[in-house]
Every structure is written in C-alpha cells, then in structure tokens.
Amino acid sequence: MRKKVTVVGAGNVGANCALRIAGKELADVVMVDIAEGVPQGKGLDILQSGPVEGYDVMVTGANDYEPTANSDIVIITAGFPRKPGMSRDDLLLANYEIVKTATEQSAKYSPNAILILVTNPLDAMCWTAHKVSGFSRNRVIGMAGVLDTARYRTFLGMELGVSIENIAAMVLGGHGDTMVPLVRFTNVSGIPITELLPKERIDSIVQRTRDGGAEIVKYLKTGSAYYAPSAGAVEMAESILKDKKKVLPCAAYLDGEYGYKDLFVGVPCKLGSMGIEKIYEIQLTAEEKVQLDKSSAAVQELVDVLKKKMAS
C-alpha cells in the first residue's frame, strides 16, 4: 500500500512540496486549495513530469478534503505570505483562520495523520493545529528549525569556502527574529566554528540567519521563500515516512521540557513513523537559555492573542 501525503495550499511552497515528494517517490500526493482549478492544474503538470524525471506516483489536486482521506501526513502550507515590511506576527490572525479550517478538515478525513505545519507565524500556527485537531503532541510538528539551520549552514559554507555537507549545526527557538543558532554546537567535520572564524564574523552570520526570510522577501517584493521551506518540510516528511529517525530541529509542543509548558518551541527532535519520537533536552549555557527564553516569550505573546480569540 503506497503512502499518501496531503499538501494543503497549492501556492509556491505547497506546489514545491508536492514536486519534491513526487520526485523522491515518497508517496502519492493530493494538493488541496480553495482556488478553483489551481491544485488540479499544478497536480497534472507535476504528474506529467514523471515520465521525464523517472518518478511514478499519483499527484492530484482538489478544492475539498474528501480526496485527502486516510493520508499518512498532512503538510499545511496554506496562508497569506509575508509582504515587505510585514512581520510574521502581522500574519497571525489572518492565518489563524486558514490553519484552523485546514486542521479541522484534515483531522476529519485523516484522523491518524501526522501534521507538519509550514504556515507563518509558525510556532503559533502549530499551537492552533494542536488545539484544533486534538492530536497527541507527537503528531503535530512545525517546520522551522530545518529551514533556519539550512540557512545558517549555507552562510557558513559561503564564508568558509567549504562543503555544506561537512557543516553540522542547529538552530533552536521560535521561527522569527529571536531564533537561537547554537554556535557552541556548530562545527566543520568536528572542528569547532569558533576555531575557524572570529567572533564578529560568526555574529554577522548568526544575524543574517535570523534575517534569512526577510532578506528573500526584500528581493522578491511580492512573496516569500519557497524552495528551501519546501525542502525542509519534505526532509521531515521523508524521515517520518521512511522511519529514518533523523534528529532535526523542529517546532515541538513542550510540556515542561526546557522549562516551558503548552508552547511550541524549536528543539532537537527524533522523527520516525510515530512523528516526534523523542525530544532531546540539551544542557544550555546561561546565555543560550536567556536567548531561548526571549524567543519563547515572543511565541507566548502570539499564543496569548490566540487564546483570547478562541475564548471570545
């Protein structure tokens, strides 16, 4: 029996998720979008690439959720993109409604699915999906740390002139301006980054990582990143579908870990067939903990806004 993945949202991120899943032959894909004809057209286009690219899975599009029934994974990408000068937080209430509806429908038709959230503001949207779905915490995961870490590794590789394959790194915290790249754990084939670059260059790269999304928004002017975000979501999906048990930084629901409760924060997670199979609680320095506290507080502010909305 083939695996099945639903991608909610047939925009740039969603369509690229579908294309990457098909290209890796991970599962049959159903794209869902409210725009009439768009998921059907893009699905057919991706399907017709198969004979050329050499993949053989079914890719379809729909404007309702019935064809998504019994999906193994649902990747939620639907939402308004950031515009120049717009913070992720500005998106909060607009995307809350979209994610709420997508989660309700996905949970109805695929009650055993694992949800991967990509919609911003990411950590707050994960919290929304968790509350609305009623799923156990291992089955609601946010794609943020994989993308932020990829950006961090990219900039380090550019600076050092080395293969990004040799760079091991990890970015924790909320997906936003307060994310926490852990310099202490960053190395190139085991060589600590602090031995290869002066502090001011590392600080500059950390800041560029934090501004990674905004930098792309500024260039594009009418949209936000989609190639790297879709790659991040599909890496997570692949680890789950193949039970690879990769350890990746993901937005996970914390219930006391790192001192936080009822909050999604980016932390190292083992991803396998059950979703999040383990949350790694690493010992942080005082400075790292202060940074993570600041990042978590930024997420908490958004969640508090959502709590008020849900109560009203």
160 pLDDT more than 90: yes
pLDDT at position 125, please?
96
Strand partners, 237: none
The CA–CA distances, whole Å, from 8 to 18, 52, 127, 206 equal: 10, 26, 17, 32
pLDDT at position 87, please?
67
Of all residues in the chain, the percent with pLDDT exceeding 90 is 90
83 pLDDT more than 80: no
Mean pLDDT of 67-72: 98
81 pLDDT more than 80: no
- Find, among 241, 228, 247, 227, the residue nearest to 24 by Cα: 241
pLDDT at position 88, please?
60
Helix axes 92-109, 286-311, angle to 10 degrees: 80
For the ranges 79-83, 165-169, 212-216, the one whose mean pLDDT is highest: 165-169
pTM (two decimals): 0.96
pLDDT one-digit tens code per residue, 263-284? 999 999 999 999 999 999 999 9
Of all residues in the chain, the percent with pLDDT exceeding 70 is 98
Whether 79 and 119 have beta carbons less than 8 Å apart is answered as yes
pLDDT at position 86, please?
67
Tell which wins on pLDDT, 107 or 93: 107
Looking at every residue in the chain, the average pLDDT score rounds to 95
Q: Which DSSP string do the residues of 78-108 spell out, in sequence order?
A: -SPPP-TT--GGGGHHHHHHHHHHHHHHHHH
Given 3, 88, 139, 175, which residue is catalytic? 175
293 vs 226: CA distance, rounded Å: 29
pLDDT at position 10, please?
98
pLDDT at position 91, please?
79
Mean pLDDT of 95-102: 96
pLDDT at position 85, please?
74
pLDDT at position 206, please?
96
* Confidence band for 223, pLDDT divided at 50, 70 and 90: confident
285 pLDDT more than 80: yes
* Fold entry, domain 4-142: Rossmann fold (3.40.50)
170 pLDDT more than 70: yes
pLDDT at position 89, please?
66
90 pLDDT more than 80: no
224 pLDDT more than 80: yes
Mean pLDDT of 67-80: 97
Determine how β-strand 59-62 pairs with β-strand 4-8: unpaired
pLDDT at position 175, please?
87
In the structure encoding, which two tokens stand for residue 28, read together?
């049959």
Mean pLDDT of 40-46: 98
Mean pLDDT of 214-239: 95
Mean pLDDT of 21-28: 98
Tell which wins on pLDDT, 82 or 62: 62
pLDDT at position 309, please?
86
Find how far residue 197's CA is from the centre of its chain. 29
Ranges of each domain in the chain: 4-142
Assess whether 130 carries a catalytic annotation. no
pLDDT at position 284, please?
96
CA atoms within a 13 Å half-sphere pointing along the CA-CB vector of 260: 26
In the structure encoding, which two tokens stand for residue 281, read together?
């609680």
